[in-house]
Amino acid sequence: MTLKLTVIGTGYLGATHAAAMAELGFEVLGLDIDPAKIETLRAGRVPMYEPGLDELLARHVEGIDGSTGRLRFTTSWQEVADFGDVHFVCVNTPQKHGEYACDMSYVDSAIDALAPLLTRPALVVGKSTVPVGSAARLAARVAELAPAGDAVDLAWNPEFLREGFAVQDTLRPDRIVVGVRGGTAEKLLREVYAKPVADGTPFVVADYATAELVKNAANSFLSTKISFINAMAEVCEAAGGDVVKLAEAIGHDDRIGRKFLRAGIGFGGGCLPKDIRAFMARAGELGADQALTFLREVDSINMRRRSHMVELTREACGGAFLGKRVAVLGATFKPDSDDVRDSPALNVAGQIHLQGAQVTVFDPKGMENAARLFPTLAYAPTALEAVRGAHAVLHLTEWKQFRELDPAELAGVAAERVVLDGRNTLDPQLWREAGWTFRAMGRPNA
Catalytic residue among 102, 236, 271, 317: 271
The answer to whether the CB of 407 falls within 8 A of the CB of 436 is yes
Residue 160 sits in the site that holds ligand UDX (CB under 6 A): yes
- Segment 293 to 352, residues that bind ligand UDX, using CB under 6 A: 333-334
Stretch of 94-102, 110-118, 257-265, 280-288 contacting ligand UDX, by CB under 6 A = 257-265
Stretch of 49-57, 138-146, 185-193, 255-263 contacting ligand UDX, by CB under 6 A = 255-263
* Least gap, CB of 337 to ligand UDX (angstroms): 7
Looking at beta carbons only, is 30 or 266 nearer to ligand UDX? 266
- The correct pick among 17, 70, 262, 395 for binding ligand UDX (CB under 6 A) is 262
Q: What is the edge-to-edge ordering of all strands in the sheet holding 4-8?
A: 71-74, 27-31, 4-8, 86-89, 122-126, 152-156, 176-179, 203-206
Residue 106 sits in the site that holds ligand UDX (CB under 6 A): no
Going by C-beta distance under 8 Å and a sequence separation of 6 or more, which residues neighbour residue 43?
Answer: 61
Residues of the chain by 3-state class (helix, strand, coil), percent to 5: 45, 15, 40
Residue 266 sits in the site that holds ligand UDX (CB under 6 A): yes
Dihedral pair phi/psi, residue 102, rounded to 5° = -95, 145
* Least gap, CB of 262 to ligand UDX (angstroms): 3
Is residue 271 annotated as part of the catalytic site, yes or no?
A: yes
| Angle at alpha carbon of residue 127, lines to 79 and 347, rounded to 5° | 115
Residue 233 sits in the site that holds ligand UDX (CB under 6 A): no
Determine the straight-line distance between the first and last CA of the chain, rounded to whole angstroms. 67
What is the distance between the alpha carbons of residues 217 and 225, in angstroms, rounded to a whole number?
Answer: 12
* Least gap, CB of 266 to ligand UDX (angstroms): 6
Rg (C-alpha) for the chain, rounded Å, is 24
- The correct pick among 267, 374, 399, 436 for binding ligand UDX (CB under 6 A) is 267
The answer to whether the CB of 185 falls within 8 A of the CB of 152 is no
Residue 156 sits in the site that holds ligand UDX (CB under 6 A): no
Q: Give the catalytic positions in this structure.
A: 271
Q: Which residues bind ligand UDX (CB under 6 A)?
A: 159-163, 219, 222, 226, 260-262, 264, 266-269, 271-272, 333-334
